[in-house]
Amino acid sequence: MLGSAVGTTITVQLIAFSITDYALAFVTLGVLLFLMNVKMRAYGSIVLGFGFVFFGMGIMTAAMEPLQTDPVFMEYLAAISEQPLLAIVVAALFTAIVQNSAATIALAMALAANGSISLEAGVAIVYGANFGTVFTALISSVTASKDAQRAAVAHAIFKGIGVLIFLPLTSIFVAILPLFGGEIERQIANSHTLFNLVNLFILLPFCDRFAVWMTKLMPKKELPSKYVKHLDRDASAIPAVGLLQARKELEVVTKRVSEHMFPHLLSMIEDDKARQQVVQQERVIDVVYKATYHHLQRIMENNLNDKESEEALKLLYVNNDLERLTNVMKEMARAMNKLENKHKMLNDWEREKIQQLFEEVEQGFSHASKAFSNNREEEALQVIYNNPKIQRMEREMRYEHFYYGSGSSSTVSVVFSDLMNLMLRIHQHSVNMSHTMLGMV
């Protein structure tokens, strides 16, 4: 928010260059780019919107010109010039109505240029315009998520602190502005830039503390599941935000699988607690899977662009593969229970072979996870390239078991074959994730 406040000052600086005189040229260029071809439409929309913003500001400024000969209006402006607090309030209210601080400041610049208001009044209007932006954010956050409401309140506090810091120093501030050069319009534009820059440098070191204070000031209700960390139902109406949340949620799932499930797969052979841990983690991931699936379905009900549609589809595929992969791990736990219930054990050779295949499968999932989290194609390719090797290992181990392991009981033989097959299925889901990340879906 602090950064965007500084970014918006560019608009006012451009107005000081009288760029509104060329607004229709931008509108025309935007239309031409939009009509050129599909690839240029996005750029055309940007230029078109840019032109319309300044064209609208030009119209608003021109509409104020007749009022400059109205004695009642001029008397009102004189009162504002003498009472900075009144100027702040009026500017804040006007900004709240038009929902554009740049428009308010542009009017102040136009009035100051013809001598209707003083520089001090123009600076006061800058204060009010900056504070007036908080109303738009507060109104928008009423039906938004708790984090969005916190952000809106923090924005209001930031702006309020800025005004309180600058207001007692206005006379000094006004005396400094001419040192930067330019006519009065440029000085007002510079005051807007300096206000937000100083506000940024003063408040930036306290952002972490503000986040803590906002959380305490506006405590959040628990999510439907304590395991769902990032999904927000309201954010699904904003595809870019909703997709980012879904990706972060799935990154948490991959981490959970790597840290809380894979380390227990081998120890499940003898340890019942390890099996219970795997089964419990599978239940958690099943909850997250359902929440993520419905979240992505809500996003896809919006009018998505091609890039957003592709991302949503990728996340649906990854979500599905992660859930199925953990189901396979749960099946491995059940297979181990078969041995324990019949008081059977795998011999050293069988354990060694299972461990060899497990290490390859675990490494494959690690590569697939990195490919997903870091968008690294080389990691995804590594999983796909290693797939034939792992399939060959599984076939050779199964053959060796049948050929050399004739002394094993039928139960042990079945469980050994099941474990080989289940690990192969786990790896196949890693391959599927890698295909998805490479766009091979």
Residue where a domain terminates, one of 186, 217, 248:
217
pLDDT along the chain (441 residues), means of 10: 85 76 87 84 86 80 69 72 84 84 81 80 90 84 72 88 90 90 87 91 87 80 66 82 92 93 86 89 93 92 88 94 94 82 74 88 94 90 92 85 64 81 93 91 67
Task: Tell me whether residue 105 is in a domain.
Answer: yes
Q: Using CA atoms, how far apart are residues 63 and 72, in angstroms rounded to an integer? A: 16
Greatest alpha-carbon span in the chain: 109
Q: Using CA atoms, how far apart are residues 85 and 64, in angstroms rounded to an integer? A: 22
Tell me, what's the pLDDT at 222?
A: 46
Q: What is the dihedral of CA 92, 97, 100, 102, to 10 degrees?
A: -50
Tell me, what's the pLDDT at 223?
A: 44
Task: Tell me whether residue 326 is in a domain.
Answer: yes
Are both 284 and 401 inside the same structural domain?
A: yes
Task: Tell me whether residue 333 is in a domain.
Answer: yes
Task: Tell me whether residue 65 is in a domain.
Answer: yes
Residue 142, amino acid? V
Q: Using CA atoms, how far apart are residues 383 and 405, in angstroms rounded to an integer? A: 31
Task: Tell me whether residue 222 is in a domain.
Answer: no
User: How large is the angle between the packed helices 101-113 and 84-98, nearest 10 degrees?
Assistant: 130
Tell me, what's the pLDDT at 224?
A: 47
Q: Using CA atoms, how far apart are residues 430 and 280, in angstroms rounded to an integer? A: 21
Q: Using CA atoms, how far apart are residues 360 and 387, in angstroms rounded to an integer? A: 10
Tell me, what's the pLDDT at 97?
A: 85
Are both 212 and 237 inside the same structural domain?
A: no
HSE-CB at 255 with a 13 A cutoff on CA atoms is: 9
Give the structural domain span for 35: 2-217
Tell me, what's the pLDDT at 319?
A: 95
Are both 183 and 329 inside the same structural domain?
A: no
Tell me, what's the pLDDT at 207?
A: 85
The pTM for the full model equals 0.60
> DSSP state, 179?
G
First to last CA, the chain: 38
Residue where a domain terminates, one of 190, 217, 244:
217
Task: Tell me whether residue 223 is in a domain.
Answer: no
Task: Tell me whether residue 118 is in a domain.
Answer: yes
Are both 396 and 267 inside the same structural domain?
A: yes
> DSSP state, 19?
G
Secondary structure class of 238 (helix, strand, coil): coil
Phi then psi dihedrals of residue 231, to 5 deg: -75, 140
Tell me, what's the pLDDT at 144?
A: 64
Write down how long the chain is: 441
Q: Using CA atoms, how far apart are residues 214 and 153, in angstroms rounded to an integer? A: 8
Secondary structure class of 226 (helix, strand, coil): coil
Tell me, what's the pLDDT at 68?
A: 62
CATH number at residue 397: 1.20.58.220
Are both 199 and 273 inside the same structural domain?
A: no
Are both 388 and 422 inside the same structural domain?
A: yes
Are both 205 and 281 inside the same structural domain?
A: no
Residue where a domain terminates, one of 154, 185, 217:
217
Are both 193 and 314 inside the same structural domain?
A: no
Q: What is the dihedral of CA 211, 156, 236, 238, to 10 degrees?
A: -120
* Domain count of the fold of the chain: 2
Which two tokens mark 2? Answer: 């602090």
Residue found under tokens 């599927």: 432
Q: What is the dihedral of CA 304, 305, 310, 312, to 10 degrees?
A: -20
Task: Tell me whether residue 286 is in a domain.
Answer: yes
